[in-house]
């Protein structure tokens, strides 16, 4: 039997199931591949997990993926990329938290695993292209490949795909990118696919929903320290500054403070070196606001930036509304970005993603901002 032309990344969810269904209906030659990228066998000292037995959630997803492939009558492949995920994604994830930053593992997971390791494996199986259930679109414009937003604005995943380049987009199909989620589920139900009503996966890419602090504590042990208000007053104790992110309200356990109103407290700064967490009251505390940021070296989907200085819109976190900004390229390929309006809780380690209309231009990791406590609390 000849090799399939397209390998579909089968996650065991409804989106990848319908992606495979639509390609098959189009007459495409397809096969499915299930990726296992995490094993719950890491020891408490952070040793690398083995690439053997997976956890129950991964096994359930694998069973669902196999069932969909069986129902569609297509070949099923399974690969364990746990070692690649650990080296390419998770070690960076931990290093960023140790440095006091808040990483976005989904962005790195897409770049290193789904559109690198998986793509390489698909080519090894004789395929020309891969397909996934992402809510995004690919188009050819002016002789280059473009990453476009998914038609369902509430599900658009272009933010997490901004590190892709021309070679990856040329080899990638997003069969459901033009559809709203409700229609995807309806198509699955009409076809009798058992994943039609399956709950969407959430949490860390390939690791899933967990008590985040307990999970992170397996690798970054608790290190109690002071919680201080912005004027330096001690108002509580934290379990470890690296467990918190800017703008966070939950988990602070700051009680009534003499002379302060009974209003919620929010994280407004972290000094990991001194192990101090800074907090302030009010969701729009001025200590959470910034108008400028600088990034690490940027990635451009087209292979180069549109200009040395240009206007566009940007997101500093997923699901944020587009924000108007002015972008200036620095000599080292990093970006200086000025926003038209102050931004709340812009967080070093997260991704700045740039757009022009429906097209994702690329992005970069946020290095620092002009928030009031940034210079005081940033690691050297």
Please count the residues of the chain.
380
Residues known to be catalytic: 109, 205
**DSSP sequence for 282-347:** STT-GGGEEEEEEESS-EETTSS-S-SEEEEEEESSTTPPPEEEEEEE-TTS-EEEEEEEEEE---
The span from the CA of 366 to the CA of 350, in Å, is: 6
Which tokens in the block code for residue 55? Answer: 């956890």
Rounded-to-integer distance, Cα 239 and Cα 252, Å: 9
How many CA atoms lie less than 13 Å away from 110 in the CB half-sphere? Answer: 20
Contact 291, 375 (CB under 8 A): no
Q: How far apart are CA 86 and CA 49, in angstroms?
A: 8
Residue pair 177/7 in contact by the 8 Å Cβ criterion = no
Within 10 angstroms of residue 232's Cβ, the number of other Cβ atoms is 9
């Amino acid at each position: 039997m000849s090799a399939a032309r397209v390998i579909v990344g089968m996650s065991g969810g409804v989106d990848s199931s319908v992606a495979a269904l639509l390609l098959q209906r189009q007459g495409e030659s397809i096969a499915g591949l299930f990726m296992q990228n995490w094993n719950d066998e890491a020891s408490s000292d952070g040793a690398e997990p083995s690439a053997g037995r997976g956890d129950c959630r991964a096994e359930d997803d694998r069973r669902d993926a196999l069932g969909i492939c069986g129902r569609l009558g297509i070949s099923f492949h399974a690969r364990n990329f746990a070692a690649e995920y650990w080296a390419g994604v998770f070690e960076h994830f931990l290093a960023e938290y140790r440095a006091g930053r808040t990483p976005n593992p989904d962005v790195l997971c897409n770049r290193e695993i789904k559109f690198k390791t998986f793509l390489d494996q698909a080519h090894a199986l004789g395929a020309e292209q891969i397909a996934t259930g992402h809510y995004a679109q690919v188009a050819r414009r002016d002789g280059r490949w473009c990453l476009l937003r998914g038609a369902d604005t509430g599900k658009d995943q272009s933010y997490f795909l901004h590190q892709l380049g021309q070679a990856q987009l040329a080899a990638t199909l997003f069969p459901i990118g033009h559809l709203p989620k409700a229609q995807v589920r309806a198509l699955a139900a009409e076809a009798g696919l058992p994943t039609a009503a399956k709950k969407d996966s959430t949490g860390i890419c390939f690791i899933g929903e967990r008590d985040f602090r307990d999970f992170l504590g397996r690798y970054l042990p608790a290190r109690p320290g002071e919680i201080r208000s912005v004027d330096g007053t001690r108002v509580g104790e934290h379990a470890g500054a690296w467990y918190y992110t800017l703008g966070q309200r939950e988990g602070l356990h700051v009680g009534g403070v003499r002379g302060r109103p009974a209003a919620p407290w929010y994280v407004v700064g972290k000094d990991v070196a001194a192990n101090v967490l800074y907090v302030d009251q009010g969701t729009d505390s001025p200590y959470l606001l910034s108008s400028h940021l600088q990034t690490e070296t940027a990635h451009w989907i087209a292979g180069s930036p549109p200009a040395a200085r240009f206007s566009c819109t940007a997101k500093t976190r997923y699901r944020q509304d587009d924000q108007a900004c002015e972008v200036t390229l620095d000599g080292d390929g990093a970006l200086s970005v000025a926003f038209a309006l102050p931004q709340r809780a812009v967080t070093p380690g997260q991704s700045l993603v740039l757009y022009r209309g429906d097209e994702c231009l690329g992005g970069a990791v946020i290095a620092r901002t002009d928030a009031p406590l940034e210079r005081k609390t940033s690691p050297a």
